[in-house]
């Protein structure tokens, strides 16, 4: 995008904000986003630089008929504008499908964007009750790039999901491909089994859903290992890998049924 075009968009957004003009369905999406962002900053009682210090469990329900939120504890590192006396805030964030903060897999905050240590500029409303962000998408300006799985773990997961012994399990319509997120697998990645997208869910949303659970994952030099369980089927396994010029290659496997 050229500077002239960007300047025109920002000028239009600023004029819309200052004039109080309503947004319409015909507005350019870029203008709409810019207007919402500027309004969040303009109307904030305070703008603070904050860092996530705790991610609290999701209630596991999409925001719709009921207003549902997942809470984060934010540690305030600096007040950029306005007034805010708090040093720490616990704020609930709406679990709206399609939100930049929310996972596409289920109603929980996306761990690729939201994790302990993640930084953001928060546009806060501090009067009249508990502090809250002014706009769920544009009142939280995340400052860090999304986290992603390293290529080695992606290769190991791909090999696991491609095992012939597991393929029949996911040909059953009622058996969705789910991998549990946890200490050894903090974020998901784009993978499929038999044309079905793999969903990555945190423990509180897995519940009784049959899933693949990663119990160990290590890379040391030219060797790597992945251990896993499928508790619903009573399966546990280990995969051994060797580094080749084109990446990790599966060289041995062990599957045990209890």
d(CA 99, CA 114): 13
pLDDT of 5 reads 42
Beta bridge partners of 121: 49, 141
Backbone angles phi, psi at 2, to 5 degrees: -75, 160
pTM: predicted TM-score of the whole model, two decimal places: 0.83
Beta bridge partners of 92: 71
Q: What b/e readout covers 139-178, taking b as 16+ CB neighbours within 10 angstroms?
A: bbbeeeeeeebeebbbbbbebbbebeebeebbeeeebbbb
Closest Cα to residue 123, out of 37, 57, 32, 242? 37
**Residue of higher predicted confidence among 31 and 111:** 111
Asked whether the predicted pLDDT for residue 117 surpasses 90, the reply is: yes
pLDDT of 92 reads 93
């Amino acid at each position: 995008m050229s500077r002239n075009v960007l300047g025109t968009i920002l000028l239009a957004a600023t004029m819309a904000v200052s004039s109080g003009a309503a947004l319409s369905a015909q507005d350019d999406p870029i203008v709409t986003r810019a207007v919402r962002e500027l309004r969040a900053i303009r109307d904030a009682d305070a703008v603070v630089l904050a860092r996530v210090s705790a991610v609290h469990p999701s209630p596991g329900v999409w925001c719709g008929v009921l207003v549902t939120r997942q809470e984060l504890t934010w540690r305030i590192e600096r007040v950029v504008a306005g007034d805010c006396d708090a040093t720490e805030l616990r704020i609930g964030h709406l679990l709206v499908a399609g939100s930049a903060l929310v996972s596409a897999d289920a109603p929980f905050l996306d761990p690729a964007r939201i994790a302990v240590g993640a930084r953001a500029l928060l546009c806060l409303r501090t009067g009249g009750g508990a502090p809250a962000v002014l706009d769920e998408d544009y009142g939280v300006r995340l400052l860090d790039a999304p986290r992603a799985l390293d290529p080695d773990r992606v290769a190991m997961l791909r090999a696991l999901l491609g095992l012939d012994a597991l393929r029949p399990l996911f040909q059953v319509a009622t058996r969705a491909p789910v991998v549990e997120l946890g200490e050894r697998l903090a974020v998901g990645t784009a993978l499929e089994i038999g044309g079905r997208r793999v969903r990555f869910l945190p423990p509180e949303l897995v519940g009784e859903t049959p899933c693949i659970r990663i119990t160990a994952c290590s890379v040391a030099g030219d060797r790597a290992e992945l251990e896993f369980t499928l508790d619903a089927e009573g399966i546990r396994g280990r995969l051994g890998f060797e580094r080749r010029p084109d990446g990790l290659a599966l060289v041995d496997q062990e599957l045990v049924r209890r």
